[in-house]
Chain A
Amino acid sequence: EVQLVESGGGLVQPGGSLRLSCAASGFTFNSYWMSWVRQAPGKGLEWVANIKQDGSDKYYVDSVKGRFTISRDNAKNSLYLQMNTLRAEDTAVYYCARDRWVQWLVLDQWGQGTLVTVSS
Chain B
Amino acid sequence: DIVLTQSPATLSLSPGERATLSCRASQSVSSYLAWYQQKPGQAPRLLIYDASNRATGIPARFSGSGSGTDFTLTISSLEPEDFAVYYCQQRGNWPGTFGGGTRVEIK
Contacts and interface: CB of A to CB of B under 8 A. Distances in A.
Q: Do A and B truly interact? A: yes
Interface of A: 44-47, 50, 59, 61, 95, 97, 100, 103-108, 110-113
Contacts of A108: 46, 49, 55-56
Q: Which of the listed residues B43, B89, B95, B98 has the most CB atoms from chain A within 10 Å of its own CB?
A: B43
Interface in B31-61: 32, 34, 36, 42-46, 49-50, 55-56
- Interface residue SS majority, chain A: strand
Nearest to B92: A105
Contacts of B100: 44
A45 B95 CA distance: 12
A54 B46 CA distance: 25
Given A45-B36, A107-B44, A112-B43, 16 more contacts: A44-B87, A44-B98, A46-B98, A47-B97, A47-B98, A50-B96, A97-B43, A100-B46, A105-B89, A106-B34, A107-B34, A107-B89, A108-B46, A108-B55, A108-B56, A112-B42
A45 B98 CA distance: 6
Contacts of B99: 44
